[in-house]
């Protein structure tokens, strides 16, 4: 066998060994634990921690924003709840104004209007510094929460050693396209395998932005580090959720996953938007992996394997595919061993997940392997070579008034629809126009 063939065979074999070991242990540790360390009930409303929900929004579709705010207003939470909606200099502020107005009569809603786009991180900080709740729940403006999400997360946060907790993510637009169906399955795997296994050791490595709760006392201590993160001398303008999670772990706090706190978020429905999202996430992962390395000696050995598997695994797979393709171009020899190994591993993994989730749809997730090999692996290589690039890569243009199924009136009639929402608490609505930088 020639050199290229040997390299391709060795690397795919190493990848198979690493991936099988890593995924098998992940599946074992992801199984729910039977022991609960917290009470499922708190006697009175005064015993529940106060919660500030922070929702940064930028050029959000008015209908989506309305559904997000409605889901927050309808939270069945016994404690004090305040909601901070931060408009980050949106170009479509006129379009979302009816949404703001529809909640102006609800207690505890506070709107902060930034004069120009400052980025999600700055928008979050603008609200955090005005808030005072015991817990802070970050919610993306395209995310809808189940009515018990705040309660479920607050119960988990009873343990003072926990600095952050995230809920389970699903795709609210799962049925739109073949891609949204794949992404919904991808989210299930990321939450119920990866995060669930990490949570077994109190070290979820990324509490995802659409639905993540933080302990305010810890958040305030880390806020300056969070705000001033740089990479190669430039401010870091994305990867907020992963960086904040790593900071919590570095501070000696645990980070957790709550599978029954369900949040549905809008996912990309086109390949271009999906790849832009993945490029941004890949850069964030590479940047913050360096921060996480010095944490590993103090954590369970599985978490070291987790980090190695997520970073070295794609490298081995990419090297095997590249050498296999190079050999095919040079000699016309098909790298059957590499192809068969990738197909076999994909089928086995998807079959195991389908059995575990009791959902046959996961068999179809094998299609994602094609996207991973031919699109995501090259994209990750590009991300590694362009780590200093901080482009947000999404929502760079102002959104227009939403038209759903030709019904523009849906946005104009939001005030009427909002009469069904409810919210506990005693604060009054305020709208704050910020005229200077935070």
The confidence score (pLDDT) of residue 32 equals 73
- Pairing relationship of beta strands 51-57 and 81-88 according to DSSP bridges: parallel
Give mean pLDDT, residues 184-204. Answer: 96
Nearest CA-CA partner of 39 in 30, 48, 31, 29: 48
The confidence score (pLDDT) of residue 369 equals 95
pLDDT tens-digit readout, 30-44: 987 654 445 566 655
Question: Which tokens belong to 201?
Answer: 């050791």
| C-alpha pair distances (Å), 177 with each of 135, 360, 371 | 36, 18, 15
Give mean pLDDT, residues 198-227. Answer: 95
pLDDT tens-digit readout, 321-353: 999 999 999 988 999 999 999 999 999 999 999
Q: Mean pLDDT of all residues in the chain?
A: 87
The confidence score (pLDDT) of residue 246 equals 94
* Band of pLDDT at residue 420, cut at 50, 70 and 90: very low
Question: Which tokens belong to 322?
Answer: 């590249």
Give mean pLDDT, residues 147-164. Answer: 97
* Band of pLDDT at residue 429, cut at 50, 70 and 90: very low
∠ Cα 241 243 247 (to 5°): 115
∠ Cα 255 258 262 (to 5°): 130
**To 10 degrees, what angle do helices 336-357 and 301-331 make?**
140
The confidence score (pLDDT) of residue 423 equals 44
Least confident among 67-71, 153-157, 230-234, 327-331:
230-234
Specify the higher pLDDT residue, 231 or 298: 298
∠ Cα 27 32 36 (to 5°): 150
The confidence score (pLDDT) of residue 428 equals 37
pLDDT tens-digit readout, 371-385: 999 999 999 999 988
User: In the predicted model, is pLDDT for residue 237 greater than 90?
Assistant: no
- In the chain, where the domains are located: 3-28+302-385, 49-270+412-433
* Band of pLDDT at residue 426, cut at 50, 70 and 90: very low
The confidence score (pLDDT) of residue 105 equals 81
Cβ-in-10-Å burial (0-12, 13-18, 19+) of 373 comes to middle
Question: Which tokens belong to 240?
Answer: 């907020």
Least confident among 136-145, 172-181, 288-297, 307-316:
288-297
User: In the predicted model, is pLDDT for residue 1 greater than 70?
Assistant: no
Specify the higher pLDDT residue, 116 or 412: 116
The gap from C-alpha 64 to its chain's centroid, in whole angstroms, comes to 17
Which percentage of the chain shows pLDDT scores above 70?
85
Query: Mapping DSSP to helix (H, G, I), strand (E, B) and coil, where does residue 421 land?
Result: coil
Q: Long-range pairs for 366-373 at CB < 8 Å and ≥24 separation?
A: 367/178, 367/182, 368/182, 368/185, 368/186, 369/342, 369/343, 371/182, 373/317, 373/321, 373/342
Query: Mapping DSSP to helix (H, G, I), strand (E, B) and coil, where does residue 401 land?
Result: coil
User: In the predicted model, is pLDDT for residue 278 greater than 60?
Assistant: yes
- 393 contact partners, CB below 8 Å, separation of at least 6: 276, 277, 279, 280
The gap from C-alpha 381 to its chain's centroid, in whole angstroms, comes to 21
Give mean pLDDT, residues 82-106. Answer: 94
Give mean pLDDT, residues 138-147. Answer: 98
Helix (H) or strand (E) holding 211: strand 211-215
| Residue 430 burial (CB count, 10 A) | 13
The confidence score (pLDDT) of residue 35 equals 46
The confidence score (pLDDT) of residue 232 equals 72
Give mean pLDDT, residues 15-34. Answer: 89
Tallying the residues shown for the chain, one arrives at 438
| Residue 403 burial (CB count, 10 A) | 14
pTM recorded for the entire structure: 0.89
User: In the predicted model, is pLDDT for residue 248 greater than 70?
Assistant: yes
User: In the predicted model, is pLDDT for residue 398 greater than 70?
Assistant: no
pLDDT tens-digit readout, 401-414: 333 343 334 444 55
* Band of pLDDT at residue 233, cut at 50, 70 and 90: confident
The confidence score (pLDDT) of residue 397 equals 42
Query: Mapping DSSP to helix (H, G, I), strand (E, B) and coil, where does residue 167 land?
Result: strand
The confidence score (pLDDT) of residue 43 equals 55
CA–CA gap between residue 295 and residue 309 (Å, rounded): 16
Helix ranges, 60-215 (H): 62-73, 93-102, 120-128, 149-156, 178-189, 196-199
- 139-161 in b/e form (b: 16+ CB < 10 A) is bbbbbbbbeebbbbbbbbbebee
Phi, psi of 22 (to 5 degrees): -65, -50
- In this structure, which CATH number among 3.40.50.150, 3.40.50.800, 3.90.550.10, 3.40.720.10 belongs to the domain 49-270+412-433? 3.90.550.10
């Amino acid at each position: 066998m020639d050199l290229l063939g040997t390299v391709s065979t060795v690397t795919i074999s190493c990848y198979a060994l690493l991936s099988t070991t890593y995924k098998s242990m992940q599946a074992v540790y992801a199984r729910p634990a039977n022991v609960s360390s917290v009470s499922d009930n708190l006697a009175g409303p005064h015993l529940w921690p106060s919660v500030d929900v922070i929702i940064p929004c930028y050029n959000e579709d008015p209908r989506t924003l309305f559904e997000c705010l409605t889901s927050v207003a309808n939270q069945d939470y016994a404690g004090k709840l305040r909601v901070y909606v931060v408009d980050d200099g949106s170009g479509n502020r006129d379009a979302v104004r009816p949404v703001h107005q529809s909640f102006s009569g609800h207690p505890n809603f506070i709107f902060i209007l930034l004069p120009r786009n400052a980025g999600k991180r700055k928008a979050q900080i603008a609200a955090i510094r005005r808030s005072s709740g015991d817990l802070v729940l970050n919610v993306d403006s395209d995310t809808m929460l189940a009515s018990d999400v705040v309660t479920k997360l607050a119960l988990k946060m009873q343990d003072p050693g926990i600095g952050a907790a995230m809920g389970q993510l699903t795709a609210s637009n799962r049925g739109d396209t073949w891609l949204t169906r794949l992404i919904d399955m991808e989210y299930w795997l990321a939450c119920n395998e990866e995060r669930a296994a990490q949570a077994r050791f109190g070290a979820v490595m990324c509490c995802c932005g659409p639905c993540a709760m933080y302990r305010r006392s810890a958040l305030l201590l880390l806020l300056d580090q969070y705000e001033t993160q740089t990479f190669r001398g430039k401010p870091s303008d994305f990867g907020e959720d992963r960086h904040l999670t790593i900071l919590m772990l570095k501070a000696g706090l645990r980070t957790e996953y709550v599978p029954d706190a369900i949040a549905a978020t809008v996912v990309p429905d086109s390949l271009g938007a999906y790849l832009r999202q993945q490029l941004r996430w890949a850069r964030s992962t590479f940047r913050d992996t360096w921060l996480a390395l010095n944490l590993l000696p103090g954590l369970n050995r599985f978490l070291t394997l987790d980090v190695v598997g997520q970073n070295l695994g794609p490298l081995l797979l990419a090297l095997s595919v590249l050498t296999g393709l190079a050999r095919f171009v040079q000699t016309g020899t098909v790298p059957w061993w590499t192809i068969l190994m990738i197909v076999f591993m994909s089928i086995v993994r998807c079959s195991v997940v389908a059995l575990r989730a009791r959902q046959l749809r996961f068999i179809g997730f094998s299609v994602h392997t094609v996207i991973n090999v031919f699109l995501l692996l090259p994209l990750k290589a590009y991300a590694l070579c362009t780590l200093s690039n901080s482009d947000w890569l999404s929502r760079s243009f102002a959104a227009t008034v939403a038209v759903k199924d030709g019904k523009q009136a849906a946005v104009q009639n939001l005030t009427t629809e909002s009469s069904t929402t409810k919210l506990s608490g005693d604060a009054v609505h305020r709208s704050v126009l910020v005229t200077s930088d935070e």
